[in-house]
C-alpha cells in the first residue's frame, strides 16, 4: 500500500479526478462528478472524520481518493491511497503539483 497526498485548487478537482481515473483505467462520468460534488461540500480538512473517500477501480489498478475542503479557502486536500504502482504514484504526485499552481 502506498499513499500520495497534497492539495489542489477546488476549481481543478474535476480535471484531477478525470485524469487520475484515466490512469487507473476507469471511467469518471457526470454521475461520479455529481456524487463527489455533493459529498465534498460537507467535508472539513481540519477534522479527522471530515474527509470523503471515493474509490477508483479499473481492471488492473485501483486507488482510493480521500478529499476534504479547506474551511474558508479554495483548496481541497487530497490523498491517493492503495496498491499504487510506481508510475501511478508519480502521476498522482504530478497531478497534485500541477493542479496546485495558480
Contacts within 8 Å (CB) and 24+ apart, 97-101:
97/6, 99/8, 99/9, 99/12, 99/15, 99/16, 100/6, 100/7, 100/8, 100/9
What are 42-97's pLDDT values in tens digits? 999 999 999 999 999 999 999 999 999 998 899 999 999 999 999 999 999 999 99
0.85 surpassed by pTM: yes
Amino acid at each position: 500500500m502506498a499513499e500520495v497526498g497534497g492539495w489542489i485548487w477546488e476549481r481543478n478537482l474535476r480535471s484531477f479526478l478525470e485524469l487520475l481515473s484515466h490512469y487507473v483505467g476507469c471511467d469518471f462520468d457526470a454521475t461520479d462528478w455529481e456524487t463527489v460534488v455533493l459529498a465534498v461540500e460537507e467535508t472539513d480538512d481540519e477534522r479527522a472524520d471530515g474527509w470523503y473517500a471515493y474509490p477508483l477501480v479499473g481492471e488492473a489498478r485501483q486507488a482510493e481518493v480521500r478529499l476534504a475542503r479547506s474551511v474558508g479557502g479554495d483548496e481541497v486536500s487530497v490523498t491517493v491511497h492503495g496498491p499504487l504502482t510506481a508510475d501511478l504514484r508519480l502521476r498522482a504526485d504530478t497531478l497534485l503539483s500541477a493542479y496546485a499552481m495558480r
